[in-house]
Amino acid sequence: MTEKARNCVGYLPLSYQSLLSLWFDSLFTQEPCPYVMVLQLRAASLQYAPFLVLPEAELMARSKTSKQWMDEHVNDPYVKKAQIDGYRSRASYKLLEINEKDKLIRPGHTVMDLGSAPGGWSQIVAPMVGESGRVIASDILPMDGITGVTFIQGDFTDEAVYEQILQALDDAQADVVISDMSPNHSGVKTTDQYASMYLVELALDMARNVLKPGGSFVAKVFQGVGYEDYVKDVRSSFEKVLVRKPSASRPRSREVYIVAKGFKG
């Protein structure tokens, strides 16, 4: 670690692990934290681990709002609970709550998990489907292995990756497609909204391609431009469509989960 890096870390009131988890979480929540945005920029330009390069001046100049944001994330009860329960991400609780309410995943099911890293959803789905079931997971980021989960790494918007995921199904159909994909936020709201709508549209396209009649689809969607049309589009292919806001989803985040049941085929 360089002298400069040591100085920077010295100003952070966070453990190494909390900061990394904060950084990872912030990539996908569309709740940009000023610290983390700076971290990402520096990381991109210096090709350095992100937590090493936050300059002193930016830390010193942090506003009250930033501090509140930081406190909120660091003290997040779901982050702490996930560490205790051994879940890879706090996102596990969102799917657990949705599944508890909507009874989507059963033993023997084939489930496709899109945007699966670091594996919080896959790790709870694998035991739900059991040995007679299958989980096909995919993410642009790497993911540590999980028993019973076939993982394909690649950009879902890339046609070749889309095909690879289809091939992993071996011509079988899926019972449930779940998508927690959200793009790395740029901090520019409109750009982020378009990017995330594009991903959920592709996820819906995949669901239409692979689901058995009667199958279910869950997708994280950010309320904003294109949201209403998207829900309408989902309704055209499923018998029942609900919008869920699990308690682990931060109240001020515009994310909601579309839960669609009864694929019309």
Catalytic residue IDs: 220
Q: Does 157 bind ligand SAM (CB under 6 A)?
A: yes
How many other β-carbons are positioned within 10 Å of the β-carbon of residue 138?
27
List the beta bridge partners of residue 189. Answer: none
183 counts as binding ligand SAM under rule CB under 6 A: yes
Task: Please state the closest distance from residue 213 (CB atom) to ligand SAM, in A.
Answer: 26
Position 119 contacts ligand SAM (CB under 6 A): yes
Strands 149-153 and 134-139: parallel
The single residue among 20, 43, 140, 231 that binds ligand SAM, judged by CB under 6 A, is 140
Residue whose CB is less far from ligand SAM, 59 or 227:
227
Decide if residue 120 touches ligand SAM (CB under 6 A).
yes
- Residues in region 20-59 near ligand SAM by CB under 6 A: 28
**Cα–Cα distance for residue pair 236/83, rounded to 1 Å:** 40
Q: What are the CA-CA distances from residue 249 to residues 80, 93, 115, 176, 210 (Å)?
A: 15, 9, 17, 21, 28
151 lies in the binding site for ligand SAM (CB under 6 A): no
Q: Please report whether residue 254 would count as binding ligand SAM according to CB under 6 A.
A: no
Assign 244 to helix, strand or coil: strand
Taking CB under 6 A as the rule, does residue 99 contact ligand SAM?
Answer: no
Alpha helices in 31-135 (DSSP H): 34-46, 56-60, 64-74, 77-85, 92-102, 120-129
Residue 91 interacts with ligand SAM (CB under 6 A): yes or no? yes
Site string for ligand SAM, 216-245 (x = CB under 6 A): ------------------------------
Asked if omega into 118 is within 30° of 0 (cis), the reply is yes
**Contact positions vs ligand SAM (CB under 6 A):** 28, 88-89, 91-92, 115-121, 139-141, 155-157, 180-183, 199
